[in-house]
Structure 1
Amino acid sequence: GIEMASVDNELEEVMAHLGEFGKFQAWQFSLHIIGALTAGLHMMTLMTVAAVPEAQCEITPGEYSLYGNGSGEGFEVLDKCHFVDPSNETRACSLWSYDRTYFQSSRAIEWNFVCSQRWMGALAQSAYMFGVFVGAVSLGSMADKYGRKIIFYVSSVAQLVLGVSVALIPEYYSFLVVRFLYGIFGSAGAYITGFVLTMELVGASKRTVCGLMFQLAFAKALRMNGSPVQLDVQKYAAKGKVKEISGEGDVDGSHSALDLLKTPNLRAKTLNVCLNWFANSIVYYGLSLNTGNLVGNPFLMIAVGIVLFGKACIAGSFAIIYNYTAELFPTVLRNTALGIGSMCARLSGALTPMIMLLDSFNPKVPATVFGFIALLAGFLALYLPETVNQPMPESLEDGENFGKGDTCFSSCINRRRVKDKRAYEVALQKVDDLEHDKDYQKC
């Protein structure tokens, strides 16, 4: 049998012994992906479903009668939001015609997300992000307490129902409610919990690849229900059920999100990671939502060099932070930590559409805000520890001690020292070989 003297380190050996990515793990991995795929579609669906084409003010017959003599004489359209009546009074438009070259219909056309009602589009996106915010806090903690699978299954069914409902809602405020609920169960419930299940199920050498593949699947797909029962080794060990695997061990499984802030090292890592989640999200969605402001065909302009490069960089960072967070925090609070990080990301995601509205004052303001936050978070990320090829921490004590004193600077210095040490050892070996050859020749 496999002896487990230390839950912290021996679990990696258990995973290696059982297989890091066999047929069972591959099957479970595919089920997790399929159950979480639709979250990616709904995250940015408003870019097309609620796209706002070029609008032009239309004066209604009622306005002709109310402000004029029933004809169009004396009326002049100033811009898409205002017109001047025959008495030279500037009035707000209440009807618009839209350029339907690229969009024949959309929620924005149906509900007029323009001019004084521009906030409606921003609020629709923010409602989804606030839903993910709420779900990340509530469902993340529930997954750590009651189990990943039950939260994953319930969320998968809920997002299926809500995903169909959101397409059929004819009224704006009901649309907001369904979007909010989908955010709770779609991204927070199915996506994050499915991601944590995947990271805990596969071996250490496969986590990065599986984590990135999980996020590559952030697109539309059919949902299918997973029926096989999982053996989550990491979860069993951390919740005091090591004896069910090896016949020994007793670990307290009662923890809350506040435990992440009780010890200095874990607190510093938590706050640092939260800021990086916030920055990743605000820049990612800021670039995505700003794409519609580019001139030309919106389906082609996304390929513009600078936008594509920026989105590629921030998308890579966003992909890594999921893996990194899962590897950095202990199993007893891993789902909670990932949920809190996602909560910070969705808070900034909810604020992003509002920040975009600041371009009414100065077009440079949104980009300046996004850039400053990204630079600050990037600098502080240098003080986070390296997790590659390290065993995942299990208990709170493991989480506090993990990476203590390790930063980007110390990692680089240590790599240099290791390289110099290896070069020194190679040189010593060559000297020994030469001396051995001389002794052999004398003989």
Structure 2
Amino acid sequence: MKEQEAKSSSARVDCDELLARLGGWFRARVLLCAALAAVQVGLLHTTYIFLAADVPYRCMVPECEAPNSTEFSAAWTAAALPEHGRAHRCSRRVPLDPTLPCEANSAFSEDAVTCDQWLYASANTIVTEFNLACQEWKRTLVGTIHNIGMLVSLPILGYVSDRWGRKTALILSCVLVGAIGSLKAFSISYEMYVIVEFLETVAGASAFPAAFIMTIELLGQEKRVLTTAFLGIMLVIGGLSFALLAKAFQYWRTFILVVYPPSLLFLLYIYFLPESIRWLLSKGRKEDALEIITKAAKMNDVSLSEETIKQLQEAKAPVEKKEEEVGLWMQVFRSPIIMRRLAICSWWWITCTFVFYGLAINSVSLAGDKYTNYMLVVSVEVIAVVTNALVLDRIGRKRTLLIAYIVCGISCVAIAFVPRSMSWLATLLYLVGKIAITQAFSGVYMYTSELFPTHARHSLLGFCSMVGRLGSIVAPQMPLLAIYVEWLPSVLFGSTALVAGALMLTTPETLNTRLPDTIQEAEELANQHKKPENLEMKAC
């Protein structure tokens, strides 16, 4: 038995060394495909911020104007409408003499009545299209439904990725989000729009996880940080493109028809994108892996030794043990270390999605042009991405993410104590918090993927991301909460980040460790980091 295990072990291939030799055009092609997918995610992932954005509106006064009136600010509106707050948009005063034309000096009743008709300053969003005035909960519900779709999607596409491949999951997500999302432009009711929003997200929420996992499985450990930074910058480019296109095509139906259909071009990935070699070997599909490796070697003018080809032909999928070939989740449940790690990672993801999307959504409420504000908030994410690229491989994953969570927490909590007269300080703290949570979000993708084994990596990463969507489900409701308690959202953002920082002290450092292929290897990560000199060359 020991001789057979030794023979099996000797037949396994060192993935990191092999993939490093297959660099060049092969690696560039995969990175390009992943980059375009990341741009698409940045472009389409938060369209509800503008498509379901609030617009100025006021009560229509039928005694003074016709329903099709285009005069939003008439001379008599100051007397007919309450001056401040929600009442200005949801109630009106009745003229004392409805037989006379309404003028600046017209007399109106002191008591206001509830509006049943409204006039809108623009028709650019679904608020006007579906007459959502004074129904703020319906507007914010769009973002919540979007993120519920992500919660449903991630485990499904995670299973698809681990069962049928990273390539399959990536193509399905990228194509379906464009095909289904385009249907929103033909919505005839609010209910139809929300249903399509949900289905779009279920179909497309896993594009970035699939692209990310494919790239880190392609590259060795020394390239993981740069890959994360690269994809992070692609997300920023997608976010900036989203704001620019939203400003150029402000009517929501036009924007959808311009932005979503090009996603169908991702069907070309069937022919252009290779499957993850590491995933193929982990599944025992050595013939498929050898075919891709041979083509890549020919493309990059790299010669493979007979020993390497022999190893590939004889490679076997890493398994825990034959007698332990049970379901994935049963293996996870049997490992207290992985279960504890799964719970902690889930809280990190809840924090990242809650704070990241909460700050992004609130950015359009800041003073000034909402498109410019959104681009500013997205642009500062580059600072976080570059910072991660500089420090993750120097001071480690844990210390970097710990600092990011703590800085974010302190900045967000401090916003609640800034007086109104110092709005510049509140904006500065806001941007610092956004930079810090972006740094944490970017780093937690890589850190989480390094904590789990190859055969379950996408499923467990997808589970953490799925549970994390609880944060993004709540985030769109923060502007609604701020109407009643203005300081509470920023305190909630900060508190969750501080708890996440404390939990960072309980997991192992993954700097200078190889990606684990089995649950046993994942459990031993802490020992690998403590004694890197004792590590053996790990095979696929």
Please report the TM-score for the alignment, with normalisation by the length of structure 1. Answer: 0.79
SS of 2:477's equivalent in the other structure is helix
Q: What is the CA–CA distance in structure 2 between the aligned matches of 1:166 and 1:6, rounded to whole Å? A: 55
Q: What is the CA–CA distance in structure 1 between the aligned matches of 2:213 and 2:453, rounded to whole Å? A: 12
1:172 to 176, 184, 190: 190
Q: Is the 8 A contact 1:76 1:84 kept in 2?
A: yes
Matching of residues 100-119 of structure 1 within 5 Å:
105-115=124-134, 117-119=135-137
2:154 corresponding residue in structure 1: 136
AA at the equivalent of 2:158: G
Matching of residues 183-194 of structure 1 within 5 Å:
183-188=201-206, 190-194=207-211
AA at the equivalent of 1:107: I
2:513 to 376, 382, 390: 390
Alpha-carbon distance change, 89 to 8 in structure 1, aligned in 2, over 3 angstroms: farther
My pick for the range that moved more, 371-380 or 41-50, is 41-50
Matching of residues 256-405 of structure 1 within 5 Å:
256-257=328-329, 259-301=331-373, 303=376, 304-403=427-526
Q: What is the CA–CA distance in structure 2 between the aligned matches of 1:122 and 1:60, rounded to whole Å? A: 29
2:163 corresponding residue in structure 1: 145
2:398 corresponding residue in structure 1: none
Matching of residues 400-439 of structure 1 within 5 Å:
400-403=523-526
Q: What is the CA–CA distance in structure 1 between the aligned matches of 2:229 and 2:330, rounded to whole Å? A: 29
Q: Is the 8 A contact 2:454 2:516 kept in 1?
A: yes
User: Structure 1, residues 112-155: CA drift from partner, whole Å, max 9, x if none?
Assistant: 4442x101111111111111111101111221122222222222
Post-superposition offset of 1:61: 4.8
AA at the equivalent of 2:165: G
Post-superposition offset of 1:379: 1.3
1:207 and 2:224 correspond: yes
SS of 2:9's equivalent in the other structure is coil
Q: What is the CA–CA distance in structure 1 between the aligned matches of 2:528 and 2:337, rounded to whole Å? A: 9
Q: Is the 8 A contact 1:328 1:387 kept in 2?
A: yes
2:405 corresponding residue in structure 1: none
My pick for the range that moved more, 122-131 or 148-157, is 148-157
SS of 1:390's equivalent in the other structure is coil
Q: Is the 8 A contact 2:16 2:219 kept in 1?
A: no
Q: What is the CA–CA distance in structure 2 between the aligned matches of 1:150 and 1:9, rounded to whole Å? A: 24
1:95 corresponding residue in structure 2: 117
Post-superposition offset of 1:338: 1.6
2:316 corresponding residue in structure 1: 249
AA at the equivalent of 1:80: R
User: Structure 1, residues 79-123: CA drift from partner, whole Å, max 9, x if none?
Assistant: 2122244676543223333445xxx622223234442x1011111
AA at the equivalent of 2:514: P
Q: Is the 8 A contact 1:276 1:377 kept in 2?
A: yes
Q: What is the CA–CA distance in structure 2 between the aligned matches of 1:313 and 1:91, rounded to whole Å? A: 47
1:230 and 2:248 correspond: no
Post-superposition offset of 1:404: 5.6
AA at the equivalent of 2:370: P
Q: Structure 2: any 5+ residue segments left out of the alignment?
A: 1-6, 68-75, 83-87, 97-108, 242-258, 291-311, 320-324, 377-426, 533-540
Q: Is the 8 A contact 1:4 1:246 kept in 2?
A: no
Q: Is the 8 A contact 1:328 1:399 kept in 2?
A: yes
Post-superposition offset of 1:8: 9.1
AA at the equivalent of 1:215: G
SS of 2:370's equivalent in the other structure is coil
Q: Is the 8 A contact 1:82 1:92 kept in 2?
A: yes
Q: Is the 8 A contact 1:9 1:391 kept in 2?
A: no
Post-superposition offset of 1:36: 4.5
Q: Is the 8 A contact 2:173 2:205 kept in 1?
A: no
1:425 corresponding residue in structure 2: none
Q: Is the 8 A contact 2:516 2:522 kept in 1?
A: yes
Post-superposition offset of 1:343: 0.8
SS of 1:293's equivalent in the other structure is coil
Q: Is the 8 A contact 1:36 1:187 kept in 2?
A: no
1:433 corresponding residue in structure 2: none
Q: What is the CA–CA distance in structure 2 between the aligned matches of 1:267 and 1:241, rounded to whole Å? A: 29
Q: Is the 8 A contact 1:255 1:333 kept in 2?
A: no
Q: Is the 8 A contact 1:129 1:183 kept in 2?
A: yes
Q: Is the 8 A contact 1:141 1:257 kept in 2?
A: no
Q: What is the CA–CA distance in structure 2 between the aligned matches of 1:295 and 1:157, rounded to whole Å? A: 37
AA at the equivalent of 1:287: L
AA at the equivalent of 1:23: W
**Matched length:** 394
Post-superposition offset of 1:46: 2.1
Q: What is the CA–CA distance in structure 2 between the aligned matches of 1:37 and 1:268, rounded to whole Å? A: 33
Alpha-carbon distance change, 366 to 59 in structure 1, aligned in 2, over 3 angstroms: same
1:53 corresponding residue in structure 2: 55
Please report the TM-score for the alignment, with normalisation by the length of structure 2. Answer: 0.66
Post-superposition offset of 1:281: 0.7
SS of 2:192's equivalent in the other structure is helix
2:144 corresponding residue in structure 1: 126
Q: What is the CA–CA distance in structure 1 between the aligned matches of 2:50 and 2:453, rounded to whole Å? A: 39
SS of 2:58's equivalent in the other structure is strand
Post-superposition offset of 1:6: 6.7
My pick for the range that moved more, 83-92 or 212-221, is 83-92
AA at the equivalent of 1:137: P
AA at the equivalent of 1:249: K
Q: Is the 8 A contact 1:98 1:109 kept in 2?
A: yes
User: Percent of aligned positions with the same letter in both sequences?
Assistant: 25
My pick for the range that moved more, 177-186 or 49-58, is 49-58
Q: Is the 8 A contact 1:113 1:119 kept in 2?
A: no
1:432 corresponding residue in structure 2: none
My pick for the range that moved more, 23-32 or 50-59, is 50-59
AA at the equivalent of 1:315: T
1:12 corresponding residue in structure 2: 16
Post-superposition offset of 1:327: 1.8
Q: Is the 8 A contact 1:326 1:338 kept in 2?
A: yes
SS of 1:97's equivalent in the other structure is strand
1:77 and 2:81 correspond: yes
Q: What is the CA–CA distance in structure 2 between the aligned matches of 1:81 and 1:259, rounded to whole Å? A: 56
